[in-house]
């Protein structure tokens, strides 16, 4: 990994931490709070690509494991990985990777701005919602003892906000393609 890659992955880990400064929104019927940090996961995949986006999330989760309070609400420590949110946290790694992988495959410089934006949006939807929910809902249903139907239906409350986050990530991806043409040369 080059110095540039290390700097970019650390930068996006810091962006995800900064998004954690926004307080979580807790809901009474499902034990996983709504946070802005999943936006950072989508942005890392869209801007950095698969490998670097996943590494940025891994850096964040290592900080969490070492006890740093970098998750929304000032949470951190190994106990987080035994909480109902653990499936979503692990899903962040795969969500960033899939978002980045699809961005690398679907977007290129020869496309129009609209096609690039829509492609980034689709990548963020698949990686940042479908993949993330697959991990989060499965863990919530099994380890959280909720059962799959209840965990699935309860998690649908996140969908409108996550679609909005995918739009923001797509617009950011397009802005980076235009404003910083060296970055899309994802490795």
User: pLDDT digits over 112-168, tens only?
Assistant: 989 999 999 999 999 999 999 999 999 999 987 888 999 999 899 999 999 999 999
* Residue whose structure tokens are 């996983």: 32
Mean pLDDT of the chain: 92
Domain assignment of residue 155, given as a range: 3-179
144 within a domain of the structure (yes/no): yes
184 within a domain of the structure (yes/no): no
185 within a domain of the structure (yes/no): no
pLDDT digits (tens, 9 = 90+) for 1-59: 788 889 999 999 999 999 999 988 888 878 888 899 999 999 999 999 999 999 999 99
The torsion region of residue 21 among left (phi > 0), alpha (psi -120 to 50) and beta comes to alpha
186 within a domain of the structure (yes/no): no
Ordered DSSP codes for 137-177: HHHHHHTS-S-HHHHHHHHGGGHHHHHHHHHHHHHHHHHHH
Domain of 84, CATH number, reads 1.10.1760.20
pTM, two decimal places: 0.92
Question: How many independent structural domains does the chain possess?
Answer: 1
- Residues 108 and 5: their CA atoms lie apart, in Å, by 20
List Cβ neighbours of 162 (8 Å cut-off, separation of 6 or more). Answer: 38, 128, 129, 132
Tokens for 30? 């499902």
């Amino acid at each position: 990994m080059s110095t540039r890659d290390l700097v970019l992955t650390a930068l996006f880990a810091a962006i995800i931490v900064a998004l954690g400064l926004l307080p979580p929104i807790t809901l009474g019927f499902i034990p996983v709070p709504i946070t802005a940090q999943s936006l950072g996961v989508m942005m890392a995949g869209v801007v950095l690509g698969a490998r670097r986006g996943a590494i940025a999330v891994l850096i964040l989760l290592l900080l969490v494991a070492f006890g740093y309070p970098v998750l929304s609400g000032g949470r951190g420590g190994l106990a987080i990985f035994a909480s109902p949110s653990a499936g979503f946290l692990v899903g962040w790694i795969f969500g960033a990777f899939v978002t980045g992988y699809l961005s690398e495959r679907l977007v290129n410089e020869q496309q129009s701005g609209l096609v690039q934006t829509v492609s980034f949006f689709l990548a963020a939807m698949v990686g940042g919602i479908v993949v993330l929910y697959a991990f989060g809902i499965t863990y919530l249903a099994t380890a959280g003892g909720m059962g799959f139907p209840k965990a699935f239906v309860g998690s649908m409350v996140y969908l409108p906000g996550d679609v909005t986050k995918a739009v923001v990530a797509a617009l950011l991806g397009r802005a980076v393609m235009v404003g910083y043409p060296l970055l899309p040369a994802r490795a």
